């Protein structure tokens, strides 16, 4: 089955899933050189509507002082008394045994379900979570992290600087709000983060007796999904939660439903989900009729037509229009009287072919792999396998690239992220960059933005943006700056917004003789993603990355030695090599070539042996 994306959306994608209703699919519309900010959101806001007005308000507010210069002291003063209450409880809670600490959860649950407000339970609940975190993870939440948790519990957006521990902060309000038994959703931007956060910081609520699970996009039955959503805390991606909601709306019986009533939602990277992708449609689509050979004919017409002669392009609205000459020439080529004849509908084929030619670029909006057109998510730079644009656009791109055209789709259900998340009675989020969208969050979502102070004074220097009139000048200046940093042996991370840009800059760096790594959506780079990101902090390292970089791998100045040690030990000491044979996964034992072991000597410490044994990877190679 296939999923489709709206051609009017910034990006559209599709997935397959089994459902008792007609076959259908899901689609989601979709360094140290700082020549750009995260994304100049105020200047790139979607046209029209309340979001555009709010974005303009945020831009003007930033220009005239509204929303700038908040160092978090106001939040510190507001929550100082509550933080003091938590700190006063710490000696009492730290003296409890593990069993007594778990028993506090049952007591708090009884009080919450008896009608006591969660606000009155907050100091004790936060003190319990802080102590459990210290015992289980070895991490004691700082006072500013407690403030972040209080902001989230209040149903606001907490802006916390990078590295201030947002992942750990989410556990505080999630635990507190789960005491009511109505469920908590913690929403992340991808499956990796959902799994990582659930398995890492999720140890704390589990230690305290709560049920905590994650929901993944693949390999989960409806029964497993239903069971996971009924747990106290559920980690899930924004797209998967939205798709499950749409699937529930297509369900034919109550037994097919997987979601419970919405209660409380914590969104990680809230600006990405509620602002950047606010109007991105989630679409469930079903298979329609077989593709027509008209796509190939339209692709040839689009290739022959010239811009401003046969058609005009509106890049802002992502639309194209035929000129009078374009109409006449198209009708002549196709030997028809009316391009818009409803019986033929040639207009949609021709317009989609021109859109595919002008607005959807290879290695920018999509890549071609194994003779298949795969969408590249503009927000993360990642390939969205199994997702497709709707309304014939994906077929038009397939015709343009000369690959096999797959079946068309029809929309069965659709909702935007904006409308979906507004259904939660209590919504909050956290990010490192929310103040710039303060007006938009407040006007559309009724969410107040609170800046949380840093645990220690900020010493990082954030330079102003540098704006160039031409792209060529921008990248020349980037190469000069990278060269200057590289000569000083400073690690450099350069962010680009597309595969094409990363390849272009890489070519310029090669010409300048600067060694570097490239991380983008191309398969050969994706396979080494974690390794490339982990080592981007090495002395003199230069790394070019699309937005996909950073998803969960720590970038440490000097390089991530622990990560590389684990990676190399896995490669050399793993006794099982898994090979696919005729579609069946076969596991076999095989010693590496003897000459490899003669040339390479590994000194394995007791700590490394302990880690290997814990993870089931200790082998007979170690004596």
- For 68-90, the pLDDT digits (tens) are 457 789 999 999 999 999 999 99
Q: What is the pLDDT of residue 386?
A: 75
Locate 206 and state its tokens: 């589990």
Beta strands 542-545; 233-237: pairing state:
unpaired
In the predicted structure, residue 330 carries a pLDDT above the cut 50: yes
Q: Domain-by-domain residue ranges, the chain?
A: 31-285+418-451, 293-358, 471-559, 564-614
Locate 421 and state its tokens: 């998340």
Locate 304 and state its tokens: 């022959």
d(CA 247, CA 130): 38
Q: Rounded mean pLDDT of the chain? A: 80
pLDDT, average across residues 421-438 = 92
Q: Among 280-289, 310-319, 377-386, which stretch is predicted with the lowest mean pLDDT? A: 377-386
In the predicted structure, residue 592 carries a pLDDT above the cut 70: no
Strand-pair partners of 495 = 545
pLDDT, average across residues 350-355 = 95
pLDDT confidence bin for 396, thresholds 50/70/90: very high
Q: What is the pLDDT of residue 571?
A: 67
d(CA 348, CA 350): 6
Contact 304, 23 (CB under 8 A): no
Q: What is the pLDDT of residue 304?
A: 94
CA end-to-end span of the chain: 52
153: Cβ–Cβ under 8 A, 6 or more apart, which residues?
Answer: 118, 119, 122, 172, 173, 176, 177, 428
Q: What is the pLDDT of residue 428?
A: 96
In the predicted structure, residue 468 carries a pLDDT above the cut 80: yes
Q: Tell me: the pLDDT tens digits for 189-240? A: 878 788 889 999 999 999 999 999 999 877 788 899 999 999 999 999 998 9
pLDDT confidence bin for 23, thresholds 50/70/90: very low
d(CA 282, CA 239): 7
Phi-psi region of 347 (alpha: psi -120 to 50; beta: other; left: phi over 0): alpha
Q: Tell me: the pLDDT tens digits for 24-62? A: 333 443 333 333 334 344 333 333 344 444 444 444 444
pLDDT confidence bin for 612, thresholds 50/70/90: very low
pLDDT confidence bin for 394, thresholds 50/70/90: very high
Q: Among 9-18, 260-269, 464-473, which stretch is predicted with the lowest mean pLDDT? A: 9-18
In the predicted structure, residue 614 carries a pLDDT above the cut 70: no
pLDDT confidence bin for 447, thresholds 50/70/90: very high
Q: Tell me: the pLDDT tens digits for 470-485? A: 988 999 999 999 999 9
Greatest mean pLDDT among 93-107, 399-413, 577-591? 93-107
Q: What is the pLDDT of residue 130?
A: 97
d(CA 312, CA 315): 10
Burial of 273 (0-12, 13-18, 19+ CB in 10 A): buried
d(CA 86, CA 127): 5
In the predicted structure, residue 331 carries a pLDDT above the cut 60: yes
Same fold, 31-285+418-451 and 293-358: no
Locate 566 and state its tokens: 């684990």
pLDDT, average across residues 374-394 = 79
Strand order, beta sheet including 449-451: 212-215, 233-237, 184-188, 264-268, 426-431, 157-159, 449-451
In the predicted structure, residue 142 carries a pLDDT above the cut 80: yes
Strand-pair partners of 580 = 585
pLDDT, average across residues 340-348 = 88
pLDDT confidence bin for 554, thresholds 50/70/90: low
d(CA 531, CA 519): 10
pLDDT, average across residues 336-363 = 91
Contact 235, 205 (CB under 8 A): no
CATH topology for 293-358 is: Pre-protein croslinking domain of SecA (3.90.1440)
d(CA 484, CA 319): 42
Locate 103 and state its tokens: 């028993």
pLDDT, average across residues 545-569 = 69
Distances (CA, A) of 262 to 154, 212, 216, 423: 17, 16, 19, 8
In the predicted structure, residue 591 carries a pLDDT above the cut 60: no
Q: Among 63-67, 383-387, 525-529, which stretch is predicted with the lowest mean pLDDT? A: 63-67
Phi-psi region of 264 (alpha: psi -120 to 50; beta: other; left: phi over 0): beta
Q: What is the pLDDT of residue 559?
A: 79
The CATH code of the domain at 471-559 is 3.40.50.300
pLDDT confidence bin for 528, thresholds 50/70/90: low
Q: What is the pLDDT of residue 52?
A: 41
Indicate the SS3 state at residue 392.
coil
Q: What is the pLDDT of residue 15?
A: 40
The CATH code of the domain at 31-285+418-451 is 3.40.50.300
């Amino acid at each position: 089955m296939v999923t489709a994306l709206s051609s009017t959306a910034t990006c559209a994608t599709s997935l397959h899933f089994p459902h008792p209703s007609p076959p259908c699919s899901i689609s989601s519309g979709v360094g140290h050189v700082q020549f750009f900010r995260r994304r100049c959101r105020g200047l790139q806001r979607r046209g029209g509507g309340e979001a555009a007005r709010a974005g303009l308000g945020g831009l003007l507010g930033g220009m005239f002082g509204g929303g700038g210069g908040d160092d978090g002291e106001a939040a510190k003063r507001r929550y100082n008394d509550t933080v003091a209450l938590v700190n006063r409880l710490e000696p009492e809670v730290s003296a409890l045994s593990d069993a007594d600490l778990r028993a506090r959860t049952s007591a708090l649950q009884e009080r919450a379900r008896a009608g006591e407000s969660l606000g009155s339970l907050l100091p004790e609940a936060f003190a319990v979570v802080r102590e459990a975190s210290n015992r289980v993870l070895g991490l004691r939440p700082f006072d500013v992290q407690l403030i972040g948790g209080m902001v989230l519990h209040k149903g606001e957006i907490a802006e916390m600087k990078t590295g201030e521990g947002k992942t750990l902060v989410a556990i505080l309000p999630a635990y507190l709000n789960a005491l009511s038994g109505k469920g908590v959703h913690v929403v992340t931007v991808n499956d990796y983060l959902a799994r990582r956060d659930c398995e890492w910081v999720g140890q704390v609520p589990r230690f305290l007796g709560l049920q905590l699970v994650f929901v993944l996009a693949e390999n989960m039955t409806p029964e497993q999904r239903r069971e996971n959503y009924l747990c106290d805390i559920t980690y899930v991606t924004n797209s998967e939660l939205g798709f499950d909601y749409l699937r529930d709306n297509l369900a034919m019986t109550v037994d097919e439903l997987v979601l419970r009533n919405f209660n409380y939602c914590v969104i990680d990277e809230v600006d990405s989900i509620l602002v950047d992708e606010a109007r991105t449609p989630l679409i469930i689509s079903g298979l329609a009729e077989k593709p027509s050979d008209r796509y190939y004919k339209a692709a040839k017409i689009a290739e022959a037509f010239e811009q401003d002669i046969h058609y005009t392009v509106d890049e802002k609205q992502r639309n194209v229009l035929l000129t009078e000459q374009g109409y006449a020439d198209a009708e002549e080529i196709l030997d028809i009287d009316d391009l818009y004849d409803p019986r033929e509908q040639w207009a949609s084929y021709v317009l989609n072919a021109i859109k595919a030619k002008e607005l959807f670029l290879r290695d920018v909006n999509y890549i071609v792999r194994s003779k298949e057109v795969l969408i590249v998510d503009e927000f993360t730079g990642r390939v969205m396998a199994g997702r497709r644009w709707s309304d014939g656009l994906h077929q038009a791109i397939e015709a343009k690239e000369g690959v096999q055209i797959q079946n068309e789709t029809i929309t069965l259900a659709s909702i935007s992220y904006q409308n979906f998340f507004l259904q939660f009675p209590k919504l909050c989020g956290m990010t490192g960059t929310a103040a710039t969208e303060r007006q938009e969050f407040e006007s559309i979502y009724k969410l107040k933005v609170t800046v949380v102070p840093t645990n220690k004074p900020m010493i990082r220097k954030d330079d102003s943006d540098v704006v160039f009139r031409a792209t060529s000048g921008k990248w020349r200046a980037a190469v000069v700056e990278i060269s200057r940093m590289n000569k000083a042996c400073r690690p450099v991370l350069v962010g680009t917004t597309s595969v094409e840009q990363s390849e272009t800059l890489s070519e310029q760096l090669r010409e300048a003789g600067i060694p570097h790594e490239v991380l983008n959506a191309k398969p050969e780079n994706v396979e080494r993603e974690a390794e490339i990101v982990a080592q981007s902090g090495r002395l003199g390292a230069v790394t070019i990355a699309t937005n996909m970089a950073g998803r969960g791998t720590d970038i440490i100045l000097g390089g991530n030695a622990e990560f590389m040690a684990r990676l190399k030990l896995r490669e050399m000491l793993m006794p099982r090599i898994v090979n696919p044979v005729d579609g069946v996964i076969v596991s076999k034992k095989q010693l590496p070539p003897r000459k490899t072991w003669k040339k390479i000597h590994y000194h394995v410490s007791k700590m490394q042996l302990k880690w290997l044994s814990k993870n089931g990877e200790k082998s007979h190679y170690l004596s």
